[in-house]
A and B are shown apart, each in its own frame.
Chain A
Amino acid sequence: MSDASDGVRRTRSIVPAPQSFVAGIALVLLGMFGIWAASDLPRGTLGSMGPGMLPHWVAIGVAICGGVLALTGLVREGAGLQTFGLRGPVTVVLAILAFAVTIRPVSLGPVAGPGLGLIVAGPLAVIIGGYATPEARFRELLILALLLTAGCMMLFGDLLNLPIPIFPTVLIEAASGTIPSRVMLRLGAGALALAGLGLLAMQRRSTHRGRIDVAPHTMSI
């Protein structure tokens, strides 16, 4: 995964098909890793196969495929390496991680996540993830995050009753006994939806209309 910046390398390189070559080497490494990972497992005999038999041979197969692929990459002309976007993967991974550590209390070694529930994790994922593209606009993402989270709270929490934490654990403990959880869920979703719609209305008024049609033809897919 090198050369993120300088475009598709069409220039003469020592290897005729860099893509196949690098992919092949990666497969060889993966195969060797597999052989190592399965090395402590008893292989058994054909009559009674042990747990290590199949992984061992499959890993060898992966390595062989990689080897042949790398060799063809050295011999035959082929595709060059493609560019890698960095902004996209990094932002998207961050967004997913943000969701994972905030949705419920997680303890990663000494650090313990707070457990903030969907009401925080959802908007976090949407807003952080949104910045994966340079076209991101904060207010737009905020509106989307509020409305989507409200919708998801109603759909997953209320309608489908899935066991997904909605509110921060602290809040749930504080409110337990005073408000039924379902009422709290609906109130929360309603508040989010109202906030989202309010922002949307404000934006509509400030930019006149035709807001949606600003860039309908430069949509990236």
Chain B
Amino acid sequence: MTDLLANLGLGFAVALSLQNVTLCFLGCLVGTLIGVLPGVGPIATIAMLLPITFGLDPVGALIMLAGIYYGAQYGGSTTAILVNIPGEATSVVTTLDGHQMARQGRAGVALGIAAIGSFFAGTVATLLIAALGAPLTRLALIFGPAEYFALMVMGLAFAVVLAHGSVLKAVAMILVGILLAAVGTDLETGQERMTFGLVFLTDGVDFSVLAMGLFGVAEILRNLDQTETREIARARIGRLLPSLADLRQAAPSALRGTAIGSILGILPGNGAVLGPFASYTIEKRLARDPSRFGRGAIEGVAGPESANNAGAQTAFIPLLTLGIPPNAVMALMVGAMTIHGIVPGPGVMTKNPNLFWGMIASMWIGNLMLLVINLPLVGIWVRLLKVPYRLMFPAILMFCSIGIYSINSLPTDVMLIAAFGVFGYGLIKFGFEPAPLLLGFVLGKLMEEYLRRALTLSRGDALVFLERPVSAVLFLVAFTILAAALLPSLRRSRDEVFTEA
């Protein structure tokens, strides 16, 4: 306990330096901005801004990038409530009751409760990261290659179960991702794989190029297809602070949402997206009068909004302690860390305590800032929504091109984002989700490395994964959830979670 306090003290000392506070604020501001704007997500933004962080020191860079990610969770709810369009994938459920509240003239209260719930969840998640950091790091040190491989298999299994739609399609996407990751020079033998003699493929496909194509360009193409009218809530926003009765009604939901979001966030496989759905379903089940949901129930805003923010932050846990990115944003963080020569994993905490604790402390500071950025300034964000998409996407296009070009100074990278953009557009059109592909791509390289190492150590005996207890348990969990997802009864309730909301 005293250790924890001392560590947090160190963290705050780092995070409160003028430079880091400024960077944290910038990150939160950019995060809110892209959160508010539908059509720009944190993945594309962080990929775009990676080159900017080259010149910063690693702590500041990561503080800023983290701020963008959780800041987007706050911003997304503003659009969801006022315009009935999710600003982010994680705020889809908020549109249901949040926008209804806005129609009833309680937009301010909905915004207020979303921000307060998010802040509460952020605080809890920050403490959770701080508390779980040390024990998980110790756990990671006893992990061998077999355990790491098993852990990643489990993560991918979760990703399949947590993805929307067909299980089979999600599995296929992960495999395609792993296959893409194999392109380029083989690390162990130095042999070129599937490069077809193309020079720009020698180093493999750059992760940010793939992410930008699949999430930046493909998203633009998808948005161009649909013409949707935006209806900004005409009614006044009204008072922002919820009344005591509102708070009392929302508090249990926020608590449950935080718990659900935190747990799903830690699990590899993009829990931040599922968290709000799960929370909404549970709130509706628990409610005395479920028919209120969809008609402006405050619980339907408090729960999911707490869940998405908690999940966005606890997602840092596997990255910082085990070195395994649980979702695409964390994979970009790996990129940002390796650029600065930091190897994500158990070593971060012992070798770079400044970075580890500074980042954690900055999250709490960032959440506090977001409360200020979001509530009083909500008028500015609403104005932003008036920028028509026909002007927004050319700007995004240009930023994407500049951002990708400046990472490696390669025009071929820029061309590749166009190719992956069209590929991603095709995926969307055929009902595939790009997120599992990206996760497969990220984990693919790591998995192959650990698989090789584990099998070399066991002299080719594949049973090693079942003989070591920890890896056996992890495999068991992976197969159980996969099997469960395929069972008809469970599949129905899984579909329900997504469709009901």
Chain A residues near B399: list those with CB within 8 A. Answer: 152
Cβ–Cβ contact A133 & B390, under 8 A: yes
In the assembled complex, A185 has its CB within 8 A of some CB on chain B = no
Given contacts A1-B429, A22-B430, A88-B220, 10 further A-B contacts (CB under 8 A): A51-B188, A85-B221, A104-B409, A133-B390, A136-B390, A148-B398, A160-B52, A162-B54, A215-B388, A217-B229
Chain B residues near A130: list those with CB within 8 A. Answer: 390-391, 393-394
Cβ–Cβ contact B425 & A89, under 8 A: yes
Cβ–Cβ contact A132 & B393, under 8 A: yes
In the assembled complex, A201 has its CB within 8 A of some CB on chain B = no
Cβ–Cβ contact A58 & B182, under 8 A: yes
Evaluate whether A23 and B175 lie within 8 angstroms (CB atoms) in the complex, with A122-B398, A215-B388 already known.
no
Give B157 Cβ to nearest chain A Cβ, in Å.
14
Give B residues with C-beta under 8 Å from A: 38-39, 51-52, 54-55, 85, 166, 168-169, 171-172, 175-176, 178-179, 182, 186, 188-189, 191, 193-194, 196, 217, 220-221, 223-231, 386, 388-391, 393-395, 397-402, 405-406, 409, 411-412, 414-415, 417-418, 421-422, 425-426, 429-432, 448, 451-452, 455-456, 459-462
Chain B residues near A100: list those with CB within 8 A. Answer: 401, 405, 411-412, 414-415, 418
Closest to B191 in A: A51
In the assembled complex, A172 has its CB within 8 A of some CB on chain B = no
Size of A's binding interface in residues, CB under 8 A: 86
* Shortest Cβ-Cβ A-B pairs, 5 listed: A47-B460, A46-B460, A65-B172, A100-B414, A51-B186
Q: Flag the segment in A66-74, A173-181, A192-200 that touches B.
A: A66-74
Q: Which of A88, A96, A148 contacts B395 (CB 8 A)?
A: A148
Give A132 Cβ to nearest chain B Cβ, in Å.
6
Cβ–Cβ contact A132 & B224, under 8 A: yes
Closest to B411 in A: A100
18 contacts between A and B (CB under 8 A): A20-B431, A23-B432, A34-B179, A41-B193, A62-B175, A62-B179, A89-B422, A92-B421, A97-B415, A100-B415, A125-B397, A125-B401, A129-B397, A133-B389, A140-B391, A216-B388, A220-B228, A221-B226
Cβ–Cβ contact A84 & B418, under 8 A: no
Chain B residues near A118: list those with CB within 8 A. Answer: 402
Give A residues with C-beta under 8 Å from B: 1, 19-20, 22-23, 26-27, 30, 34, 37-38, 41-42, 45-52, 54-55, 58-59, 61-62, 65-66, 68-69, 72, 79, 82-85, 87-89, 92-93, 95-97, 99-101, 103-104, 106, 113, 118, 121-122, 125-127, 129-130, 132-133, 135-136, 140-141, 144-145, 148-149, 152, 156, 160-164, 212-213, 215-221
Cβ–Cβ contact A26 & B430, under 8 A: yes
Cβ–Cβ contact B405 & A103, under 8 A: yes
Cβ–Cβ contact B230 & A51, under 8 A: no
Chain B residues near A217: list those with CB within 8 A. Answer: 229-231
| A101 to B217 Cα, complex, angstroms | 18
Evaluate whether A144 and B395 lie within 8 angstroms (CB atoms) in the complex, with A54-B448, A93-B422 already known.
yes
Q: Which of B224, B398, B448 contacts A220 (CB 8 A)?
A: B224
Cβ–Cβ contact A220 & B418, under 8 A: no
Cβ–Cβ contact B401 & A66, under 8 A: no
Chain B residues near A66: list those with CB within 8 A. Answer: 172
Q: Which of B196, B393, B411, B431 contacts A79 (CB 8 A)?
A: B431
Cβ–Cβ contact A103 & B398, under 8 A: no
Closest to B39 in A: A221
Chain B residues near A22: list those with CB within 8 A. Answer: 430
Cβ–Cβ contact B388 & A96, under 8 A: no
Chain B residues near A135: list those with CB within 8 A. Answer: 388, 390
Give A28 Cβ to nearest chain B Cβ, in Å.
10
Give A107 Cβ to nearest chain B Cβ, in Å.
10
| A62 to B168 Cα, complex, angstroms | 10
Cβ–Cβ contact B51 & A162, under 8 A: yes
Cβ–Cβ contact A88 & B224, under 8 A: yes
Give B490 Cβ to nearest chain A Cβ, in Å.
18
Give B494 Cβ to nearest chain A Cβ, in Å.
17
Cβ–Cβ contact A46 & B422, under 8 A: no
